[in-house]
Structures are given as structure tokens and as C-alpha cells.
């Protein structure tokens, strides 16, 4: 499951858990992006902070792990590079790439679109407030999955912290504490 995870929240975790159950996955590897090219104009928290929050959020689940492959690669993150590296690490594994419906609708703008479909099965999870319009997705390589609706986004979490509002129960407890410890998302100090 790829994402910026700035911060990781319960929407991500529920989506991963639901897809793992539905597709009988052995494990879900969370892959925080290095430099998210779709978010080029926005300020993103340091990659080590996003990585550590993802580790904190997933550590107790034996089926979840976190990979550094994208944060350790220089330059913008492209999903095709992520998939090539995962495939090289585990040539026999059947790969599924989990992403949100919003990202999936831009799938054909991704670099190396054709090769990505050969490397992985794509799963788009529904998310509140994002309507799926099918842009003509390749047959059999993309599935859409309804996950229990959690109207949580990282953007909203960051804005709440900046306004001094709570993010308890939107993100895991350890992530709340990490945000406070590192004073993330507090504009103007």
C-alpha cells in the first residue's frame, strides 16, 4: 500500500485490513513515498517522520510491515519503480498495489502505466467524498473495493493539529504522541 502517510491514519489501516481479508493477502507492506510527485507543490513532512509514524501505526499487526524502498530512493517516487523493486526482492510473490480511488482515477497519468499492470494487480479502495469514474481501466488488472467509510484524511489531520484540535482516534495513539513529540503540523513555530 503506497501513500504519503503524512500522517498515517485509521482510514489507511482499515483499507489495508479490508483488502487483505478480501483478497486473502499474506501481508500488507506499507510503502511511504519519498518525494510524492503528485504533491510537488505542497510541503510534506520529512520522510523519516512519515516512515516512523507508519511503523508505529502498524507494528502491532503481524500481517503489516513497512518498507523503506521509496524513502531510500532519491528523486520523485514513481509507482513503477516501487513495483520493479518489490518484484526483484520477491520474484515469486503475486503483487497487489492498494491505493485510493482518487489516485486510481489518475492511473493512466502514471509513468509506465502499461508495465505496472503486468507487475501487479491494482486495487482501488473507495473513500468518502471521492466518486469513482471509470476511465476505461484495463480488464482484470484493477479491482475496486468498498471499505467501511471513514471520513478521515491526512490533510484534515494536519489542519486539526495546526488549529490545536484533537486527532485522537483519527490516528493511532502512538502517532498522536509522535506528532506531539516532533511538533509536526504546527504552523508558525
Compare residues 14 and 92 and give the one whose CB is closer to ligand ATP: 14
Residues making contact with ligand ATP (CB under 6 A): 3-6, 11-12, 15, 99-100, 102-103, 125, 127, 147, 150, 152-155
Least CB distance to ligand ATP at residue 189 (A): 21
Q: Which is nearer to ligand ATP, 57 or 103 (CB)?
A: 103
Q: Using an 8 Å Cβ cutoff, are 84 and 119 in contact?
A: yes
Q: Is the CB of 43 or the CB of 88 nearer to ligand ATP?
A: 43
Could you tell me the smallest distance in angstroms from the CB atom of residue 81 to ligand ATP? 17
Q: How far is the CB of 92 from ligand ATP (least distance, A)?
A: 27
- Give the span between the Cα atoms of 32 and 132, in whole angstroms: 24
Kindly give the pairing relationship between strand 95-100 and strand 120-125.
Answer: parallel
Ordered alpha helix ranges (H), 106-168: 113-119, 154-162
Buried-exposed string 165-183: b where 16+ CB fall within 10 A, e elsewhere: eebeebbbeebbebbeeee
Amino acid at each position: 500500500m503506497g501513500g504519503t502517510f503524512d500522517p498515517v491514519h485509521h482510514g489507511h489501516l482499515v483499507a489495508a485490513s479490508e483488502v487483505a481479508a478480501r483478497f486473502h493477502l499474506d501481508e500488507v507492506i506499507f510503502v511511504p513515498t519519498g518525494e510524492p510527485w503528485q504533491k510537488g507543490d505542497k510541503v510534506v513532512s520529512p520522510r523519516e517522520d512519515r516512515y516512523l509514524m507508519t511503523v508505529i501505526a502498524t507494528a502491532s499487526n503481524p500481517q503489516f510491515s513497512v518498507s523503506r524502498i521509496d524513502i531510500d530512493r532519491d528523486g520523485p517516487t514513481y509507482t513503477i519503480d516501487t513495483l520493479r523493486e518489490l518484484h526483484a526482492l520477491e520474484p515469486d510473490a503475486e503483487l497487489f498495489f492498494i491505493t485510493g480511488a482518487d489516485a486510481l482515477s489518475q492511473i493512466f497519468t502514471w509513468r509506465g502505466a502499461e508495465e505496472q499492470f503486468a507487475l501487479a494487480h491494482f486495487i482501488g479502495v473507495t473513500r468518502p467524498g471521492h466518486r469513482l469514474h471509470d476511465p476505461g481501466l484495463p480488464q482484470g488488472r484493477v479491482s475496486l473495493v468498498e471499505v467501511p467509510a471513514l471520513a478521515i484524511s491526512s490533510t484534515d489531520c494536519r489542519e486539526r493539529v495546526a488549529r490545536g484540535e484533537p486527532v485522537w482516534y483519527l490516528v493511532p495513539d502512538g502517532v498522536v504522541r509522535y506528532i506531539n513529540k516532533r511538533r509536526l503540523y504546527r504552523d508558525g513555530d
